[in-house]
A and B are shown apart, each in its own frame.
Chain A
């Protein structure tokens, strides 16, 4: 099972771009990379998923190098409401497979005014 490593915490200021990097050295060929966001007292919320290169949606961008051993979640122009814990996961994308259900410790992002 591919494990992930992320920084425990990060600080930023409103309006800045935030990049959170995740290491997943043992990622398998069939694995996708997925990021979740969790606010206090709420369940995690899916943000973005990718397999290789770059993926962008209305919330974030995900950069994945060719070797896929790491990935970077990029949050453009963060606001106070982006203060949350961000989790990086890797897995084959099939429900019911334990390979895709491992949440790491996450990165606690604190955005300051």
Chain B
């Protein structure tokens, strides 16, 4: 049983397109996150979300938006994709009170052509 799953694993698309990455966790966690890891391997938080608040890293363009249909899912929507969006995107989850112990998904490698 996969704890945190993401789909798709690979995503190749053209500039200007709109795409979504799905994330699901079956750990019963109440907080979920999205991270971006660029080609230099820097891992940066994009969003953290629970049923109380959405925290957005101020450096994230508003073309990126998280959507949570329920506590087990946090999907990432990206509009008007740009070349610089190419990266690996990781979803993670945790309990709110143990936010340091996060469980990560396998990642989605996004390539924008």
Contacts and interface: CB of A to CB of B under 8 A. Distances in A.
Interface of A: 32, 34, 38, 41-46, 49, 85, 87, 89, 91-98, 100-103, 105-106
A95 B45 CA distance: 12
Size band of the interface chain B makes with A: 20 to 34
A92 B31 CA distance: 15
Interface string B80-101: 0000000000101011111111
A96 B55 contact: yes
Given A42-B107, A43-B90, A98 B45 contact: yes
Contacts of A102: 45
B101 A34 contact: yes
Nearest to B6: A43
A93 B99 contact: yes
Contact of A46 (B31, B41, B101): B101
